[in-house]
Amino acid sequence: MNNNKGLPAIDSHRDLHIWIIENLKMVPVPEKAYGNFFEKHCYIILHVPQSKKATQEASSDLHYWIGKEASTEAQGAASTFVQHLQEELGDRTVQHREVQGHESECFHSYFHPGVIYRKGGLASDVKHVETNMYNIQRLLHIKARKHVSATEVELSWNSFNKGDIFLLDLGMVMIQWNGSKTSISEKSRGLVLTCSIRDRERGGRAQIGIVDDGVEVTDPTHIMEAVLGCRVGNLPAAMPTKSINQLQKANVRLYHVYEKGKDLVIQELATRPLTQDLLQEEDCYILDQGGFKIYLWQGHMSNVEEKKAAFSRAVWGAAPGRWSAMEARSPQPAGLTESPPQGFIQAKGYPTYTNVEVVNDGAESAAFKQLFRTWTHELGRKKLDRTGRSTQVKLDVGKLHSQPELAAQLRMVDDGSGKVEMWCIQDSGRQPVDSKHHGQLCSSNCYLILYTYQKLGRIQYILYLWQGHQATAEETKALHSNAEELDHLYQGALVQEHVTMGSEPPHFLAIFQGQLVIFQGSTGHHGKGQPASVPRLFHVQGTDGYDTRTMEVPARAPSLNSSEVFLLVTAGVCYLWFGKGCNGDQREMARTVVTVISGNDKETVLEGQEPPHFWEALGGRAPYPSSKRLPEEAASFQPRLFECSSQKGCLVLSEVVFFGQGDLDKYDIMLLDTWQEIFLWLGAAASERKDAVAWGQEYLRTHPAGRSLATPIVLVKQGHEPPTFTGWFSTWDPYMWSNNQSYEEVVKSGVSHLGTESAISGITAEINNFQLSQWPGESRAGPPDLPAIKDTQDISEMELGPRVGGRSASTSISTSNSSSSVSLVDSGSLPPERLRYQAVEDLPQGVDPTRKEFYLSDADFQDIFGKSKKEFYGMAKWKQQQEKKKLGFF
């Protein structure tokens, strides 16, 4: 980095870097403090993808964050540093402007389990997070949506409400208070954040108590009343969350930004749906997504001054000032306008905290690309066929099972050789279809197709719900109800894929081995050889058994195409018509499928050599497409994951960027958009499960890019994920949820996981004694000036878990006595045989039974676990537990 510009060195081996603006300089924030932000400061965050795949596909992200109390000088310094960093990092960096409380979903995705907003500023001699500091009294207001945030608020009952979670942090005791209107998922996320604060800031030693508003009074309740005073009156409802629904996000407008003399001109070019060719490499553009987000796209041939003008003048007008002091103006009329002094955001009347993302030509974010109908990379792309599959791919079932990423890309769980059962929906019930008619569908009907296959010795199912274009609303409703009945019979193990006629996914085609035929009307699967009273024309689409469908089309000459193959069935003969542009594979598939359609004599006809009877059957000659039909180029879109919820009947989505399996929570309904399919993942404890398909349909209907409503929608239940779903995740552990406790189980087993009842009771007694000694008379309503609850031992600071090395001492809370007691055992002081496979009663005195491994020496730990203690404690908790069980330290 350029030291002349005050830029720090960047560790190329780390994906996340955070700096705080202190005394107008960039000061690095320690890793253990990531996610803590002081309101009087500005921060700069840089995310650089580290995996090989991410490095090839994704850009870096550069954010500057503005606290709500940040000074104008700090904001200016942050903006300047970001511009310098952008110049040093190059054009493959996406720039974001973030304002406290209104950050982008990309920003929130860095911080698990949440973001903490801290009051005031950070003095130069004070650290972000002091581990094992217990002289604390604070109240955190936790908003436990998908992206969790916690804000320090006044230590008073006046800060509470019914709809949120509050954490009373007293150092050695942390009490999570759940409002009466909070959901189980919110309580669970709040508890994850509470435990994270305990582990990071208290070394795992603080006791956690849970209070549910309106439930029985417990010891933690007495502690809260001792600190906050007695609660008077009813609590208010939570402030409603201002969520942007999908209809608002779908309102996209593209503006061309350019200089005309000394004026900056903003001209509206287009509205939804946008196309990629609107963006010219020598220009700059503003894309307004309904005020939800403003994108500034910079062509790689545009000059530097034009880029700066577009950002500073078009978006903000003058240099940025205090965000809270800016005015909002009424929107300007569309068309050719001169940018007013206050800039685009104020001219449109948008809030000053509106998120701004600056993207460079060739390094666009996934969210930006999906605002366009199609998006392709011209250079270095592999040509794909109509189905999105590579043109020369030979299916290997073993590879599909062992490489789920390949199964996901090909949209194939196997080669289609599994067991097939088929039902036609008739009179609200399901009628079995004889196996000899499998694959023969009618456009006026609905069908259920159950596919059974084995993956690594385990039986799995896919239930296809196929809907014809002419099916009635009653038949569609019966299709869904019968699918639910089947799913119930199979104890919820069915993956349900909703398929619309003409948009069948590759695997659906594969299970019929090239013999899928779709007839018009409600007849067709009653056997071949039926006499045809009128001619029928069928279009054969495909080149092999994995990608072929045959659809009946109007028996008229304009239906023909020189690049394709058609079957014309008349009363006496079946013509195989081969267009001049078709290939041998297409002709071979026509010869295969014709036996399904007709038992009449077959006659091959080449384009241009048709007999008169052929044209008579089609009603006479007429023009038809004769140019070669090129295969559609597959769109280059990255998968995106969203949490689904509903607000006032409208779908609300929260995106999880850089997602992983850990972002799938049992209480959630998640939407995974791979562009060619929409997956809806249903957590085991999720509510509103019946709305999932409707949410998928609403997502497609309101998508800014004008998506096809026929895009397949796949329902996937927790624990029954097919490889076509899991392959979109960088790693997948099928046993992850088997070791995870639910929120209720964690609270119920709180003695081992949160804190001992005896310890809480002991602290309650201490506080009550303190109250009596301070207030011999009547109790007060306000909070007393309590002394901080401290550990009895001075403990050295730790980084990412228990400090490793034999010199440091560790305190552990003994759970065997009736009150909280403390004993010392040196880290690294015990041999493995004293700890491994030992019952609690056989452990040396002072050893915390939940952390036996901590007392191993560094060398013994490395030998047994195959990694250092620092690496181990940096792992997810559930992974730590798995290893400890496996190695005898659980």
Per DSSP, the three-state class of 448 is: strand
pLDDT of residue 769: 53
Give the phi and the psi of residue 648 in degrees, each rounded to 5.
55, 40
Q: What is the DSSP string of 655-680?
A: EESS--GGG--TT-EEEEE-SS-EEE
Nearest to 856 by CA among 825, 879, 882: 825
Place of tokens 């006026």: 444
The sheet with strand 650-656 has its strands ordered as: 429-432, 419-426, 446-455, 458-467, 494-500, 713-717, 678-682, 669-673, 640-647, 650-656
Report pTM. Answer: 0.79
Helices (H) and strands (E) in the chain, counts: 23, 37
**Distances from the Cα of 718 to the Cα of 339, 660, 722, angstroms:** 51, 14, 10
| CA–CA separation, 571 and 535 (whole Å) | 7
Q: In whole angstroms, how far apart are CA 180 and each of 211, 234, 351, 645?
A: 10, 12, 32, 19
DSSP 347-377: HTT--TT-EEEEEETT---HHHHTTBS----
Residue 294's Cβ-count burial label (10 Å; 0-12, 13-18, 19+) is: buried
Continuous H helices in 30-109: 52-57, 72-89, 105-108
Cα distances (Å, whole numbers) of residue 848 to 665, 792, 822, 858: 30, 16, 11, 18
Q: What is the mean pLDDT of each run of 10 residues along the chain (890 residues)?
A: 65 86 90 92 92 61 93 90 87 91 94 92 57 76 94 95 95 93 92 92 88 84 90 87 78 89 86 93 92 91 71 54 31 38 76 90 91 72 39 62 88 93 95 94 96 90 97 95 96 96 95 94 54 83 93 96 95 94 94 91 94 95 82 73 86 91 93 96 89 94 93 96 94 84 74 53 56 40 46 33 32 30 46 85 80 86 88 80 85
Joined together, the tokens standing for residue 753 give: 């996981």
CA-based R_g, the chain, Å: 32
Helices 858-865 and 877-887: crossing angle in degrees, nearest 10, is: 90
pLDDT of residue 514: 92
Q: Which two tokens stand for residue 184?
A: 């189980």
Contact (Cβ atoms closer than 8 angstroms) between residue 482 and residue 466: no
Nearest to 676 by CA among 731, 732, 728: 728
For residue 818, what pLDDT is reported? 30
How many Cα neighbours within 13 Å face the side chain of 197?
Answer: 31
Cβ-contact 873, 880 below 8 angstroms: yes
Q: What is the pLDDT of residue 829?
A: 65
Task: In whole angstroms, give the CA distance from residue 607 to residue 628.
Answer: 14
What is the pairing mode between strands 115-118 and 149-153?
Answer: parallel
Please give the Cα distance from 465 to 423 (Å, whole number): 10
Host H or E run for residue 585: helix 584-597
The whole-angstrom distance between residue 12's C-alpha and the CA centroid of its chain comes to: 26
Beta bridge partners of 16: 47
d(CA 267, CA 259): 11
